[in-house]
Amino acid sequence: MTAKSKSAQKVKSQKAQSHKVQPELKYQYDVIVIGTGPGGEGAAMNLTKAGKKVAVIEKHKEVGGGCTHWGTIPSKALRHSVSRLIEYNSNPLFNSPEKAESLTFDSILKHTTKVINDQVKLRGGFYNRNDVDIYHGAASFVDAHTLNVVLLDGSAEQLTAEKFVIASGSRPYRPVDVDFTHSRVYDSDTILSLKHEPKSIIIYGAGVIGCEYASIFRGLGCKVDLINGRDRLLSFMDAEMTDSLSYHFWNSGIVIRHNEEYDKIEGTEDGVVMTLKSGKRMKADCLLFANGRTGNTDALNLESVNLKANSRGSLAVDSTYKTSAENIYAVGDVIGYPSLASAAYDQGRIAADYMLGLTTERKLIEDIPTGIYTIPEMSSVGKTEQQLTAAKIPYEVGRASFKHLARAQIGGSPIGSLKILFRCDTKEILGIHCFGERSAEIVHIGQAIMQQKGEANTIEYFVNTTFNYPTMAEAYRVAALNGLNRLF
């Protein structure tokens, strides 16, 4: 922490303490928010702009939460660097003998660190400009209106508020039989401290985090074994898209082992040996354990406010994000699904609206877009083919292959496709699914049309609209024509 930030924190602390000596106030704050990730930030900003006196508690020395420091931002920054390396090495324009065939994990972390620092500076400015007091320390409830905060310097302070928002986030799940103190065993937080250069890695867990890191390490030239406890990758996504990802993984050299569970994990001096319940044994330079996450609720002393988290540390909330405690709300990863940074921010803002009495019915949009930052990306919004078939909804499919788009050919990114699902009778758009570079951006064009009402939400919009040429967005026109040509 710089001298400037320390000074700013001291001023904040003095300002915060001054509130305790104001006898006219029943509580020091209207609302205290625990956590400064997307959910906590969304709630705090909405509340303070409405004139409420707000404080936030952040257990780390900088704001931003897990999203900024260990999760979304670092992994996506790493992914971007590796993706550009792959693009550079595969582009025929760059055939120089001095080609940078590889980068070290440590070297690409430098770019990641800069992005994190920029995000911290930006987000910290939000709190300062809006007069939100920041306490850096670990919070736990004393009673329904009191928090005990153990500050980073070891001192403790009690804060009171009328209401609270728990936005404490989540952390990687760590089973007790895995030795995470071993120098070659990592989770998705500690992998960012990797110093040695692994030639091989076992990734246990083929969810979003596991698949993203499989792409990153394979792009760095590592031998990757990806262990999946299910029979297919990312089964919540459209099967055609996940099949494309599976093929691309296989084609790049990633070994995927489906329907497997570990029996024993042994750390050695130079690596890790994993024994699977099927009897298979494998060895690698290191292990990334990425099999689920746990809500950060165990240190909050929830018993003192009659709250109880489930086995994965998650809290139950109603449609207004209120817990069973009348004055305590919860948002973000700590309430479980959908566990997306984008959704957490909206949850925080919506919860604030309920706390302010500004709404009686606001909720998250029904079709929340999903972006998975593998190499190439995957993204989707709306229903999958499997869901529509199970619901017996008659639909048709329009497809566009990126290799036929001029912009993809120019950019040297021909891998991927766009798929539009729509009703046969009304032509209403039911789902958008995309695999390939910039998928998480491309999907938003379809999402915008899906959110329209009535005749504005039909696949014909893409036929009747003129797109810039050449662009990746043109894939919508190509896919729409392809789908409409299937109707009879």
Residue stretches of the annotated binding site for FAD = 58-67, 76, 333
SS (H, E, C) 305-322: HCCCCCCCCCCCCCCCCE
Q: How far is CA 76 from the centre of its chain?
A: 9
Q: Do residues 201 and 222 touch, judged by C-beta distance below 8 A? A: yes
**Amino acid letter for position 429:** I
Integer Cα distance of 388 and 176 in angstroms: 40
Integer Cα distance of 385 and 410 in angstroms: 31
Give the pair of three-digit tokens for residue 292: 């689920």
> Which residues are annotated binding-site positions?
58-67, 76, 205-212, 292, 333
Q: Is 2 exposed, middle or buried (0-12, 13-18, 19+ CB in 10 A)?
A: exposed
β-bridge partners, 186: 288
Integer Cα distance of 351 and 353 in angstroms: 5
Torsion of CA 294, 300, 303, 309, to 10 degrees: -20
Q: Do residues 119 and 70 touch, judged by C-beta distance below 8 A? A: no
Q: For the chain, what is the radius of gyration of the CA atoms?
A: 24
> Which residue's structure tokens are 């979304």?
72
Q: Work out the angle between the directed axes of helices 105-129 and 38-49 (0-180°, nearest 10).
A: 20
> Which residues are annotated binding-site positions for NAD(+)?
205-212, 292
Give the pair of three-digit tokens for residue 355: 């706390």
Q: Do residues 65 and 35 touch, judged by C-beta distance below 8 A? A: yes
386: Cβ contacts below 8 Å, ≥ 6 apart: 238, 239
Q: Do residues 424 and 364 touch, judged by C-beta distance below 8 A? A: no
Integer Cα distance of 403 and 419 in angstroms: 14
Enumerate helices (H) and strands (E) in the chain, giving the number of each: 13, 21
